[in-house]
Amino acid sequence: MIFMQIFLQILFTNMRKLPKRLKILHRYLILRTVMKEISKALACIVTLILSGLYSLVMYPLYLCRNLGYHFRSPSVLLYATIFFIVDRYTKLLVVNHSHQLPIKVIDDFFTLTYVKNPGVAFGWFPDWRLPPIIMALTMIIIISYYSLKLPEEERLTRWSLALLVGGAIGNLYDRVVYGFVVDFFLFHFGSFDFPVFNIADIAIDVGVFMLFVDIFFLSPDEDEENNNESLASTSA
């Protein structure tokens, strides 16, 4: 009987401690689960950081290694991004040093200034707000879609489209963020002042000119060669 009493006493004592032990076990399991999830999240973060660092290091090396290929068959979106970055950098320089402007670089010919242009290119249609944004977005979407289907052999076309997209994005960014376009190049021709413009305007104009040359002067020659080849094949 004494042993039975001792056994029951020990059993009851352990049963009283059981809820506390279950709580400790439950907390331990929760903590273990949380630590596993945290370790998984940290592993994902580390993987993303390493992937980003790898891309930052390796992609420039890839570009340098394949520089000739990129110039022979330029990626429209890649070079459009580069033109956009150059445009943004020059505009930020002008805005940050606007208190020092205007500066006469060449007397009576070339001046660096700071002009807020709410209109279209070269200050035309200053009362227009929404139409330039819609036109720029439409042009960017159409050209980007067309560039994805453009053959690699169309090098001049690719360069022209990259200039057009980069310039359009540069001015579109200004319109959306500031409500106006930052212009700073001013040329004087006697008493005539040419409309103030920026790098994005230059990119768009050069892109249009290159596209015009490609369509009206280079493409017909290719068509004639194709026609001559087809005639030669039929005669043979």
Catalytic residue positions, numbered: 183, 201
| DSSP for residue 198 | -
165 contacts 143 by C-beta, under 8 angstroms: yes
Residue 90: exposure state from Cβ atoms within 10 A (0-12, 13-18, ≥19): middle
Cis peptide before 102 (omega within 30 of 0): yes
114 contacts 102 by C-beta, under 8 angstroms: yes
Handedness of CA 161, 202, 139, 81 (dihedral sign): positive
